[in-house]
Amino acid sequence: MNVWAKHRRCKAFICVFAGLLACLTGLLSAAASAEPVRILALGDSLTAGYGLPEPDAFTTRLEAALRAEGLDVTVINAGVSGDTSAGGRARLGWALSDKPHAIILELGANDGLRGLDPAETERNLDAILTQARAAGLAVLLTGMKAPPNLGREYGAEFDAIYPRLVEKHDVLFDPFFLEGVAARPELNQPDGIHPNAAGVEVIVGRMLPLVRELVGKLAGPAKKPL
């Protein structure tokens, strides 16, 4: 092989190597600048972690579970103890200032405890879902059951709210946030209403596949932490 042929081969090799190096640099730069997926958890005391130290709150434990699976996800705690669907609707705009990519909506428990009109609860939740979808957010709606002491008729009206909203807005659905925890003393705090740390673990474990699906609905997959 003459010197010119060797020169051409060397030059071609250098070009290919430079291209690969540029591609790798771009990928590393994109990974370094990628933001975590942000999930806004909009809810009441069940979301806020009432009666629990911060490390045992629902949002903290859910974020830890997602990160343990290699997903770079931040769960924003937008839970306010005592909040109703009307309160959540009123503060949604402020909550969205964190620029989340997805939302877990957990509201209605206090509406039921206070015996508020189910039609009003539905209007508030409908407005929240409408605004969230208009903002391009992926949504997981988690439902609640009416207290049994309010009667069968009220319970039927209240419990029907969530399936109707899911059908209307085509969002992911967890029928009952306290499934597997409600009415089990060993999983609740002394008030019999709010989960203890063990109860939160049950809730997170049950909801994890749905939240994983929620993350999967986003335009780009969550990145693994570096």
Q: Which one is catalytic: 83, 111, 174, 194? A: 194
**111 included as an active-site residue:** no
* C-alpha to C-alpha distance for 96 and 114, rounded to whole angstroms: 27
Q: Which of 45, 72, 101, 174 is catalytic?
A: 45
- Is a pLDDT exceeding 50 seen at residue 23? no
What is the edge-to-edge ordering of all strands in the sheet holding 102-106? Answer: 73-79, 37-43, 102-106, 138-142, 172-174
Q: What is the pLDDT of residues 35-50, one digit of tens each?
A: 899 999 999 999 999 9
194 belongs to the catalytic site? yes
To the question of domain 36-216 being in CATH 3.60.21.10, the answer is no
pTM of full prediction above 0.85: no
Please state, in angstroms and rounded to a whole number, the distance separating the CA atoms of residues 141 and 19: 46
Q: Which of 112, 104, 130 is nearest to 39 (CA)?
A: 104
In eight-state DSSP terms, residue 184 is -
Q: Is 101 a catalytic residue?
A: no
pLDDT of residue 35: 80
Is pLDDT of 3 > 50? no
How far apart CA 134 and CA 13 sit, in angstroms, is: 51
| Residue 17 pLDDT exceeds 70 | no
What ranges do the domains of the chain cover?
A: 1-34, 36-216
Predicted confidence (pLDDT) per residue in 140-163, tens digit = 999 999 999 999 999 999 999 999
